[in-house]
């Protein structure tokens, strides 16, 4: 999900998924997030922030 | 969308499929198991098995969190939901899982106040909004959802909410994998490792698979190219005579996992001596319960539950499907008595269940083949 807005006091972030649906997400388990970050979210909790460290699929 | 589109590139997919073809030895049969329901769903949704050579077989393991919940646990949940003044909350998939005398959805239709939630935090909010009611959250899932439950319990404790409790049915992934590897009726060549569980636990817990059993593991993402690349990496290991844990899903999974999630889980949960899995029976140290420090928030201590073990319906072969011994369509009731609309077994309930995924996507390809 993509972070739209951050509520630092409550440890929550308003996020939108691929279809545009919005939800409040718990961010206690990841480093501080900012608008535009892409998070992996499970059951309303962010488990990690996606970063560009992937290897291109082998051709 | 970033991190998604790149992994649905058809041209690259064909290139990886060609690599897979070049890696297999003719005459050798390869049996690879994925142990995450998300992988099962993607495999059928994208027709990944159609891109594989005939001698590379994908076997679907016990990775769907809803599918492994035994009937007795559903009955326990329904018993709690029927207590006066209780609001019982659970994930949507869980509402349709059959117990011995109906599902939570049936109990809701009969008058129990059962509500679907998106996260345990929603259940906590309901508890705050209803201080005169007891609110119970039915917590299920592997290490992916357990941190969310743990954080919610920590919030409940901090906010001193007296009317919130959790019926904990969380499970862990490693014990069933060991049980499968010890199973005499299943010969596997390698594992597609669970991407999102690994985000939490990291890669280390899977080291026993190559170390003790000599099988490769490749932790994989959920897009079609992720899965194809993971299969290519497993076949590469087999061709080279190696067995290691490799991480295809590096954009998400750090080797050490999520240390904060592991810390909160260690604070809130402890291992049960044993836990019953649907189709797999009792597996030692495979289920989580609330730790001593959070025992007062345990719904099973707050409410009386039957706690009775209930055998699966005789017609249902979810156990064999979950162990990868039979394919979904080989079950006697698949697609006839058991459908996503009227499931008999759990594998037909969740979109991550092998039977539901195959019913929704794969059966059409098979019908075409028959024609």
For chain A, give every domain's residue range.
2-49
Among B17-26, B27-36, B65-74, B352-361, the least confident range: B352-361
Among B7-11, B134-138, B273-277, the least confident range: B7-11
Q: Pairing mode, if any, of strands A2-7 and B245-247?
A: unpaired
- Counting Cα atoms < 13 Å in the Cβ hemisphere of B369 gives 6
Q: Which residues of A touch B157 (CB under 8 A)?
A: none
- Minimum CA–CA partner of B139 in chain A: A43
Q: What is the ipTM of this complex?
A: 0.84
Q: Distance (Å) from the C-alpha of residue B185 to the closest C-alpha of chain A? A: 34
- As to burial, measured by CB atoms within 10 angstroms (0-12 exposed, 13-18 middle, 19+ buried), residue B187 is exposed
Taking residues B310-337, report their average pLDDT: 85
> Is B255 touching A (CB cutoff 8 A)?
no
Q: Angle of helix B10-23 relative to helix B224-240, nearest 10 degrees?
A: 20
> Is A55 touching B (CB cutoff 8 A)?
yes
> Is B254 touching A (CB cutoff 8 A)?
yes
pLDDT for the residue B371:
44
Condensed to tens digits (0 to 9), the pLDDT of residues A23-51 reads: 999 999 999 999 999 999 999 999 999 87
Query: Does residue A57 register a pLDDT over 70?
Result: no
pLDDT for the residue B1:
61
Percent of chain B with pLDDT over 90: 67
Q: Pairing mode, if any, of strands A2-7 and A12-16?
A: antiparallel
Query: Does residue B231 register a pLDDT over 60?
Result: yes
Taking residues B145-168, report their average pLDDT: 96
pLDDT for the residue B113:
98
**Domains, chain B, with CATH or none:** 5-58+186-247 (3.40.50.11750), 71-171+287-302 (3.40.50.11740)
Closest CB to A45: pick one of B4, B119, B229: B119
pLDDT for the residue A54:
44
Q: Do B199 and A57 count as a contact with CB atoms less than 8 A apart? A: no
Query: Does residue B204 register a pLDDT over 50?
Result: yes
pLDDT for the residue B321:
86
Helix (H) or strand (E) holding A7: strand A2-7
> Is A4 touching B (CB cutoff 8 A)?
no
Among residues 6-35 of chain A, which lie with CB inside 8 Å of chain B?
A: 18, 23-24, 26, 28-30
Taking residues B190-215, report their average pLDDT: 96
B262 or B321, which is more confident: B262
Condensed to tens digits (0 to 9), the pLDDT of residues B22-46 reads: 999 999 999 999 988 889 989 988 9
Q: Do B258 and A29 count as a contact with CB atoms less than 8 A apart? A: yes
**Six token digits for residue B334:** 């698949």
Q: Do B250 and A53 count as a contact with CB atoms less than 8 A apart? A: yes
Collect all residues with Cβ–Cβ distance below 8 Å to B89 and sequence separation of at least 6. Answer: B114, B115, B116, B117, B122, B123, B126, B135, B136, B137, B138
Among B40-49, B261-270, B341-350, the least confident range: B341-350
**Six token digits for residue B207:** 């080291």
Q: Angle of helix B37-45 relative to helix B224-240, nearest 10 degrees?
A: 110
Q: Which residues of B touch A45 (CB under 8 A)?
A: 119, 121, 147-148, 151
């Amino acid at each position: 999900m993509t972070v739209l807005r951050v509520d630092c006091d409550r440890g929550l972030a308003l996020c939108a998924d691929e279809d545009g649906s919005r939800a409040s997400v718990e961010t206690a388990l990841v480093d501080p997030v900012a608008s535009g970050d892409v998070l992996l979210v499970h059951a309303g909790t962010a488990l990690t922030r996606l970063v560009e460290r992937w290897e291109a699929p082998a051709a | 969308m970033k991190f998604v589109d790149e992994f649905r590139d058809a041209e690259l997919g064909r290139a990886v499929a060609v690599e897979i073809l070049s890696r297999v030895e003719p005459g050798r049969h390869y049996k690879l198991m994925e142990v995450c329901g998300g992988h099962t769903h993607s495999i059928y949704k994208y027709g990944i098995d159609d891109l594989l050579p005939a001698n590379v077989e994908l076997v679907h393991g016990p990775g769907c969190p809803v599918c492994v919940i035994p009937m007795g646990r559903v009955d326990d949940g329904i018993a709690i939901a029927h207590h006066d003044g209780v609001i019982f909350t659970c994930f949507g998939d869980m509402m349709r899982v059959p117990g011995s005398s109906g599902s939570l959805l049936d109990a809701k239709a009969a008058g129990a106040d059962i509500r679907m939630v998106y996260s345990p935090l929603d259940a906590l909010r309901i508890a705050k909004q209803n201080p005169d009611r007891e609110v119970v959250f039915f917590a299920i899932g592997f290490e992916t959802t357990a941190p969310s439950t743990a954080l919610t319990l920590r919030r409940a404790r901090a906010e001193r909410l007296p009317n919130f409790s959790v019926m904990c049915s969380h499970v862990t992934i490693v014990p069933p994998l060991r049980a499968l590897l010890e199973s005499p009726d299943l010969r596997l060549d390698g594992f597609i490792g669970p991407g999102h569980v690994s985000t939490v636990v990291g890669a280390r817990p899977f080291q026993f698979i190559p170390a003790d059993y000599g099988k490769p593991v490749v932790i994989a993402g959920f897009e079609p190219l992720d899965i194809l690349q993971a299969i290519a990496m497993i076949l590469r290991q087999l061709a080279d005579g190696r067995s290691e844990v490799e991480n295809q899903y590096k954009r998400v999974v750090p080797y050490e996992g999520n240390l904060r999630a592991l810390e909160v889980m260690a604070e809130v949960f402890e291992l049960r001596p044993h836990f019953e899995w649907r189709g797999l029976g009792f597996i030692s140290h495979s289920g989580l319960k609330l730790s001593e420090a959070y025992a007062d928030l345990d719904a099973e201590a707050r409410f009386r539950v039957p706690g009775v073990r209930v055998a699966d319906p005789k017609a249902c072969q979810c156990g064999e499907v979950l162990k990868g011994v039979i394919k979904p369509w080989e079950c006697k009731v698949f697609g006839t008595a058991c459908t996503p609309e009227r499931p008999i077994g759990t594998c037909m309930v969740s979109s991550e269940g092998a039977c539901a995924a195959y019913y929704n996507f794969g059966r059409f390809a098979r019908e075409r083949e028959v024609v």
